[in-house]
């Protein structure tokens, strides 16, 4: 199963709470750029998992403008910045065992880095720029993943 792990876009620093920080214009633009690039890389996404925080949900809204995604998404409290990495890994393993092809996960630092490290035993937790995406190929047989690639908006802009 292919797991696309995306960090939310750039968010405002001021808000009533961390959970309510909205995307900035830059965050929307970078998320749109990444989604546009992803649209040429993936065919079908079977499931979407997203943090309940506003900036992650807004990132998903921007991504939906470019990618064909299933109706609805699963909003998981374990996908918040200090969320439960082990639980998310177990859930992804269960989805892989169901035969899903691609799952998109939109979350936060540090969880996105820890997720890559936990899924891929040979990897250290990578840093994620805002709107960056990593692609992990998860083997349903043994639960081990391989980091296929990771790309950020700055890397895409450097190629232009």
* 160, pLDDT greater than 70: no
Residue 51: the pLDDT is 98
Return d(Cα 49, Cα 103) in angstroms, integer.
7
Residue 32: the pLDDT is 97
Return d(Cα 91, Cα 99) in angstroms, integer.
13
Residue 44: the pLDDT is 87
Average pLDDT of the segment spanning 33-49: 91
With beta carbons less than 8 A apart as the criterion, state whether 71 and 128 touch: no
Residue 41: the pLDDT is 85
Residue 43: the pLDDT is 73
With beta carbons less than 8 A apart as the criterion, state whether 50 and 60 touch: yes
Residue 159: the pLDDT is 75
Residue 133: the pLDDT is 97
- Whether pTM exceeds 0.85: yes
Q: Angle of helix 85-97 relative to helix 111-119, nearest 10 degrees?
A: 50
């Amino acid at each position: 199963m292919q797991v696309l792990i995306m960090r939310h876009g750039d968010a405002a620093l001021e808000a009533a709470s961390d959970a309510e920080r909205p995307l900035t214009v830059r965050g929307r633009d970078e998320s749109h750029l990444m989604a546009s690039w992803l649209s040429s890389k993936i065919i079908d996404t079977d499931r979407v998992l997203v943090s309940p925080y506003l900036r992650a949900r807004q990132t998903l809204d921007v991504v939906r403008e470019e990618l064909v995604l299933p109706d609805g998404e699963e909003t998981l409290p374990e996908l918040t910045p200090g969320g439960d990495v082990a639980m998310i890994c177990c859930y992804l393993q269960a989805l892989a065992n169901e035969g899903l092809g691609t799952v998109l996960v939109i979350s936060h630092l540090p969880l996105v880095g820890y997720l890559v490290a936990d899924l891929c035993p040979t990897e250290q937790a990578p840093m994620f720029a805002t709107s960056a995406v990593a692609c992990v190929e998860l083997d349903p047989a043994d639960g081990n993943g391989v980091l296929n690639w990771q790309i950020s908006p700055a890397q895409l802009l450097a190629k232009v």
